[in-house]
Structure 1
Amino acid sequence: MGDPSGAEGAIMSRYSLLEHLLFPRTQYNSRRLEYRLEGKTVLITGASSGIGEQLAYLLADSHVHLILVARREDRLLEIKAEIEKKSAQVSVFPVDLREETELESLLAFLHQLPDGLDVIVSNAGHSIKRSILESLDRYHDFTRTMAINYSAPLQLLLSTIPLLEKSQGQIINVSTVNVMLPPLAYWAAYQASKAAFDTWFRSVAPELNMIGILTTSIYLPLVRTPMILPTTAYQKLPAMTPQHVARIIGNALYTHKRSYKPWWIIFGQLGSILFRWYWEYAIPRRLRRKGSRM
């Protein structure tokens, strides 16, 4: 039996015709998900908005212990109050994952959980768009972006792998299709940090699988979350809803798929090979023309 709530139809109704084509319906079975999560403990980072928030709401009907992590305590408490009207138990842990002492306090909390830890959804992230010439005196842009997109999830997993091995758990990494395509100008800090963690995660996945830890990489296109609001150009581009992405993650929780990729990503990868010359020669000329008009 699939999801009886009709929520999928409501999600898809928000899409344009092009978005329907690019982001088709996701198979989702609420009963299988609830069975899989019965009595489990699930950690979600970046849980105060966007994908993390919607995933928490999706899991609210399950008998699960949700640990919601984000910087904004007020939002986490609002989400907790809403979810606990249903079946899930919720713990909130306000923390800035970029701060070493705060991250260490989260790790100490996780190691003291009486029922252990079963699932980590690594969703927290930071995006930034800025040209390299505007970044010459902004080294902190790179260190902050690397901290949240690479160093923090790396430290989180290094500490919790023994917990996940004990529970034979699962790690879900929320990534981006950008790591599978040629890098774009102006996005160096973001793309470098996301690619670094994706490479690390794929590299250790066989070792984790060997000891019984499931691994899943979710490669997403543009998603309508607060993170994209500063980029005006994105407002008119096709984008997934965070509710749809939550269902993709929910599906991965009970199917144990190794990865999710948009169906069209293969064409993007093929195009990046066939038209590599365009990226290497035409784009710099285009950027020069754009700069000369400013």
Structure 2
Amino acid sequence: MFNSSNLLNCVLFPIVKPNYSKLNRQLENKVIVITGTSYGIGESLVNLLANIQCHLILVARTHDKLINIQQSLAHKKAKIDIFSVDLRESEQLDNLMTNLQRYSVDILINNAGKSICRPILQSLSRMHDFDRTMKLNYYAPVKLCLALIPHLQRNQGQIINVSAINVLLAPTANWAAYQASKTAFDQWLNCARPELENQKIKVSTAYLPLVKTRMIEPTKIYKRFPALQADEAAAIICRLLQTKKHQYKPWWTIIVQLASLFFNNIWVKLNRYFLKKKL
């Protein structure tokens, strides 16, 4: 049966799968740290990489879910260690960084993230919304990178940041906390990239569109939008692991970026219009 939604997804998000045979050879015996692995993209990525003879270090808040993942993949080729950590908590993050020094890390995949959609006028007494998003989306990955750069330098490794296409586009009303925090780490990593690549550390960013995960469920309008499945997003990350390209972004991103640049005033007026309609 013809499905217009699936066709639109294929047009907007054509997925070029990695060469898994080559990926197997590249990642053999590599130590890979992945944050945000208990659900969504992270869990799907772990399921893909578990078929490779590598060492996966899974980081997430939900301890029981991490145990379940580890047990369900015990028969796979990958060795799996787990760390139940709330990356927003400084003491837990410091303990994680200390524990990671025991490993010779080859690859860091920053996947953990917090999304929030809330109007500024509903946030006047909610400074913790901004604090939490900055801690998880910016400070935590910066600290992890700083701790692991000596390992990555020694092993000529790779950093992959799982970002959002929003950071490349015009700011959107109600998304101040999320968009600012994701943009902050994106800018940090892009500024650090020349230094890191001079040290033979590859830097890659996946600028993903909407992905059907728990993160987008609270924003009801997103149910109508085209979106990737979590396993498709995981395949994109695997392709960055294989090709070591600087970035992934949908083919149409440049069109929207140019529109954001030339029609910014119109975009602001549209934001104001839709906000007034909701009142």
Q: Do the aligned partners of 1:60 and 1:84 also contact (CA within 8 Å) in 2?
A: no
Aligned counterpart, 2:143? 155
Q: Which runs of 4+ in 1 moved over 6 A?
A: none
Distance 1:174 1:269 in 2: 19
Aligned counterpart, 1:90? 80
Aligned counterpart, 2:187? 199
Deviation, 1:235, is 1.2
**Structure 2 residue corresponding to 1:36, chosen from 18, 26, 30:** 26
SS, match of residue 61 in structure 1: coil
Which sections of structure 1, spanning at least 5 residues, go unmatched?
1-12
**Structure 2 residue corresponding to 1:231, chosen from 216, 219, 230:** 219
Q: Do the aligned partners of 1:130 and 1:186 also contact (CA within 8 Å) in 2?
A: yes
SS, match of residue 273 in structure 1: helix
Distance 1:227 1:189 in 2: 15
Deviation digits for residues 200-239 of structure 1 (CA, Å, limit 9, x no counterpart): 0000001000001010011011000111111111112110
1:247 aligned onto 2:235: yes
Alignment of 1:15-30 (within 5 A): 16-30=6-20
Distance 2:44 2:190 in 1: 26
Q: Residues 38, 279 of structure 1: CA spacing in aligned structure 2 closer, same or farther, 3 A cutoff?
A: same
Q: Which letter maps to 1:92?
A: I
Deviation, 1:15, is 6.2
Distance 1:17 1:129 in 2: 29
Distance 2:141 2:91 in 1: 15
Aligned counterpart, 1:9? none
Aligned counterpart, 1:7? none
Q: Which letter maps to 1:90?
A: I
Report the TM-score when normalising by structure 2: 0.96
Distance 2:213 2:264 in 1: 31
Does 281-290 or 50-59 show the bigger shift? 281-290
Aligned counterpart, 1:279? 267
Deviation digits for residues 161-199 of structure 1 (CA, Å, limit 9, x no counterpart): 111111110000000110100010000000000000000
Q: Which letter maps to 1:265?
A: T
Distance 2:268 2:220 in 1: 26
1:61 aligned onto 2:51: yes
Q: Do the aligned partners of 1:70 and 1:94 also contact (CA within 8 Å) in 2?
A: yes
Deviation digits for residues 223-270 of structure 1 (CA, Å, limit 9, x no counterpart): 001111111111121100110111111111121111001001011112
Q: Do the aligned partners of 1:80 and 1:90 also contact (CA within 8 Å) in 2?
A: yes
Aligned counterpart, 2:155? 167
Q: Do the aligned partners of 2:172 and 2:271 also contact (CA within 8 Å) in 1?
A: no
Distance 2:20 2:177 in 1: 38
Pairwise CA RMSD = 1.4
Distance 1:261 1:233 in 2: 22
Q: Which letter maps to 1:241?
A: Q
1:141 aligned onto 2:129: yes
Distance 2:17 2:117 in 1: 34
Aligned counterpart, 2:71? 81
**Identical-pair percentage:** 47
Aligned counterpart, 2:91? 101
Aligned counterpart, 1:263? 251
Q: Residues 132, 163 of structure 1: CA spacing in aligned structure 2 closer, same or farther, 3 A cutoff?
A: same
Q: Residues 150, 14 of structure 1: CA spacing in aligned structure 2 closer, same or farther, 3 A cutoff?
A: farther
Distance 1:89 1:240 in 2: 28
Q: Which letter maps to 1:38?
A: E
Q: Residues 25, 283 of structure 1: CA spacing in aligned structure 2 closer, same or farther, 3 A cutoff?
A: closer
Distance 2:33 2:270 in 1: 44
Deviation, 1:14, is 11
Deviation, 1:20, is 1.1
Which sections of structure 2, spanning at least 5 residues, go unmatched?
none
Count of aligned positions:
277
Q: Residues 96, 233 of structure 1: CA spacing in aligned structure 2 closer, same or farther, 3 A cutoff?
A: same
